[in-house]
Amino acid sequence: MILFLALLCVAIAIAGFTAFLIFWPLTLVHVRDRHAAISAEFGPGAFLKPAALGWLLSGRYRQPRDPALTGLATPALVALLTIFAGLVFAALLWLLSVVMA
């Protein structure tokens, strides 16, 4: 049962990854088109750059006061946190199953 729950957590992480693949590129395109200073900070190919992901995780997308940017970046942040949480819980459940065996 524990390994089933761990597999379910991996499935949740995959769902988060899918949502991240939808919202993060849309956020980056919006930043490129409407916020040149932020786009210059990221540089080209910002999809997995630590600076861009740190910007997302720290919530600095709220600073420009752009509701469209916030509307795109918030689901991307939730999806990224879902990926992390799903993988962490899956690893913890797997470790629990190893310890109990």
Segments in the chain below pLDDT 70: none
What pLDDT does 101 receive?
A: 84
R_g of the chain, CA atoms, integer Å: 17
Q: What share of the chain is helix, strand, coil (3-state, %, to 5)?
A: 85, 0, 15
pLDDT at position 97 is: 95
7 within 8 A of 86, measured Cβ to Cβ: no
b/e map of 17-38 (b: 16 or more CB within 10 Å)? bebbeebbeebbebbeeebeeb
User: Cβ–Cβ contacts within 10 Å for residue 49, how many?
Assistant: 15
pTM of structure: 0.94
Q: Please report, as a single letter, which amino acid is at residue 69.
A: L
